[in-house]
Amino acid sequence: MSRTRTLFAAVTAVPLLAIAGSTSAFAEDTVSYSLEKTETGYIRLNNKTGEMSICQEKSGQLVCKLATEERKAYEEDLADLKTRVAKLEEAVASIGKIPPVIRDALPSDEEFEKGLSYMEKFMRRFMGIAKEFENDDKGSKAEPQKT
């Protein structure tokens, strides 16, 4: 354990020491992860949160299963994306449909027919008055004045 931990701490601490110029005790305090050798591979420990993930050596590289905090972030992103997709699908499905605000504001068929009846009465009366003016104009044909 100490050899793996020391090696991992040394690898991650080198850049910190070069920048900070402090002791190795400080460098070990700032190490985010520690590795512990097991019979089947390694256990990676997050020194800040205490969460662990299982790692195995494959083809000369250390491959770790998704750590708990990474898995949680992945699942939150996935849930967010599902919500966004559902909203987009709803928006696409509603294209071409009358929005509820407008649909609810439209008059019923009965109200429409009543309004149309008022317009028809208005137009008939208006056209009647226009014809009366036309008839009055024909009956009193006076010669235009020459000035």
Specify which residues 57 forms β-bridges with: 62
pLDDT for residue 146 is more than 70: no
Query: Where along the chain do its domains lie?
Result: 2-65, 66-97, 107-133
> What pLDDT, in 10s, does the model give residues 27-79?
555 678 888 888 888 888 878 877 778 888 888 888 887 666 677 888 888 99
Instruction: Choose between 81 and 54: higher pLDDT.
Output: 81
Q: Kindly report the pTM of this predicted structure.
A: 0.29
pLDDT, tens digit, 9 for 90 and up, residues 114-135: 999 999 999 999 999 999 988 8
